[in-house]
């Protein structure tokens, strides 16, 4: 009996090693290497107007242009983490990066240094946005390749993520440079949580790095992820493990990764939190900053009706797609793991749309 148990354990270990080796070799395969230029070409096509004309006029482009110009100037001069932008407000200065996350502007500063500051700020920001969009495709491809052995499906999913309407809406309408960059980090957070669920030793460390990067790129995205998708996915993975011991182990791994990630981002988080007395917090209670002004089912409160119609149509499309997936699940191949995964993301989408609609208090 003991010998049989030893044989079974040996088979399990061998199978695990083979799976890990297969995943590693998959990343080195010719089709995976081919995916990188395909994703780069996709990013170039999606951002062709910006790459040809420079940064286009958007809601936030004046801030992005001014901040990136000053940030990169100080960075090239050897000030690796500029916080005070001395040229703002006609030379009076501004404490912008005591409060605003720096990671996306660090990337832009590196692009500036790589090109020896030969590009204008307008064109350089377009190049940085191209790199961010390309990175988002690579990150999503990495996550999907971990979820499925079908490389074509992973590539199509990555391209769909890059071309998602709100993804491009952030670039062409809102000009939300930091949020646009954060979309390259979001898939890595989910992938590293999956690695934690698989009890990979490196999982919590990678989660810490990904979560720290998210915090230092765009705080609203980090907050929304932390209170919605991350706990939902954690509960889903815990349920899939089916054992209290396994669930507690996963909770511990994810908690360790998140706490370590906050610690890694402390260089930004601590000053931003301890200087709150210098922030005009009364502005946050203005109508444009209240969640009730942006709920889909309360058009009488909308302060930007044209914008909300676009957001509403995108939300409705996402909800219809999620409903279609739920209906089609019984017809899917008999792979319970994939069915559960599809079902989870469909329900997560419907839940998020319900939150946006105002169906919850």
335 compared with 190, residue with greater pLDDT? 190
33 compared with 97, residue with greater pLDDT? 97
Q: What is the pTM of this model?
A: 0.88
Q: Residue 79 pLDDT more than 50?
A: yes
176: which 2 tokens? 């939300």
8 Å CB contact between 84 and 95: yes
335 confidence band (pLDDT: 50, 70, 90): low
Tell me, what's the pLDDT at 19? 46
| Helix, strand, coil in percent for the chain, rounding step 5 | 80, 0, 20
Q: Residue 163 pLDDT more than 60?
A: yes
Rounded Cα distance between 336 and 121, Å, is 50
| The Cα angle at residue 186 between residues 293 and 160, in degrees rounded to 5 | 90
Partners of residue 85 on adjacent β-strands: 94
The string of pLDDT tens digits covering residues 179-219 is: 999 999 999 999 999 999 999 999 999 999 999 999 999 99
Tell me, what's the pLDDT at 284? 81
Q: Residue 120 pLDDT more than 80?
A: yes
8 Å CB contact between 202 and 217: no
281 confidence band (pLDDT: 50, 70, 90): confident
Rounded CA Rg of the chain: 22
Q: Residue 1 pLDDT more than 60?
A: no
Q: Over pLDDT 70: what percentage of the chain?
A: 89
Would you state the torsion angle of the CA atoms of residues 221, 161, 47, 88, taken in this order, to the nearest 10 degrees?
0
Average pLDDT, integer, range 301-322: 92
Q: 3-class SS at 231? A: helix
Q: Residue 242 pLDDT more than 80?
A: no
184 compared with 12, residue with greater pLDDT? 184
| The Cα angle at residue 61 between residues 60 and 62, in degrees rounded to 5 | 95
Tell me, what's the pLDDT at 11? 43
Domain ranges in the chain?
284-361
8 Å CB contact between 100 and 178: yes
Q: How far is CA 266 from the centre of its chain?
A: 19
Residue 230: CB atoms within 10 A of its CB come to: 20
Rounded Cα distance between 197 and 175, Å, is 36
């Amino acid at each position: 009996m003991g010998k049989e148990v030893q044989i079974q354990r040996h088979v399990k270990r061998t199978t695990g090693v083979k799976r890990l080796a297969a995943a590693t070799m998959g990343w080195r395969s010719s089709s995976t290497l081919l995916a990188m230029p395909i994703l780069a070409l996709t990013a170039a096509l999606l951002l062709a107007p910006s790459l040809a004309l420079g940064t286009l006029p958007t809601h936030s482009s004046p801030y992005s242009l001014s901040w990136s110009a000053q940030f990169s100037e100080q960075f090239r001069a050897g000030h690796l983490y500029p916080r005070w932008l001395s040229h703002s407000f006609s030379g009076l200065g501004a404490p912008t990066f005591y409060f605003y996350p720096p990671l996306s502007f660090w990337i832009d500063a590196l692009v500036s240094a790589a090109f020896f500051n030969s590009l204008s700020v307008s064109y350089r920001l377009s190049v940085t946005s191209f790199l961010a969009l390309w990175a988002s495709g690579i990150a999503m491809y990495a996550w999907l390749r971990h979820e499925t052995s079908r490389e074509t499906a992973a590539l199509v999913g990555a391209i769909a993520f890059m071309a998602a309407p709100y993804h491009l809406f952030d670039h062409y309408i809102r000009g939300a440079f930091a949020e646009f960059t954060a979309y390259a980090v979001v898939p890595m957070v989910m992938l590293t949580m999956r690695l934690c669920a698989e009890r990979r030793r490196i999982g919590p460390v990678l989660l810490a790095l990904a979560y720290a990067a998210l915090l230092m790129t765009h705080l609203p995205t980090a907050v929304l992820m932390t209170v919605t998708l991350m706990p939902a996915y954690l509960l889903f993975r815990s349920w899939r493990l089916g054992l209290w011991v396994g669930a507690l182990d996963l909770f511990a791994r994810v908690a360790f990764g998140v706490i370590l990630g906050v610690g890694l981002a402390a260089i930004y988080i601590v000053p931003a939190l301890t200087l709150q007395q210098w922030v005009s917090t009364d502005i946050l209670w203005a109508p444009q900053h209240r969640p009730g002004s942006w709920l889909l089912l309360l058009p009488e409160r909308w302060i930007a009706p044209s914008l909300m119609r676009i957001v509403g149509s995108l939300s409705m499309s996402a909800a219809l797609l999620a409903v279609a997936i739920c209906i089609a699940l019984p017809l899917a191949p008999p792979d319970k793991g994939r069915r559960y995964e599809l079902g989870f993301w469909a329900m997560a989408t419907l839940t998020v749309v319900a939150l946006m609609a105002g169906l919850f208090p």
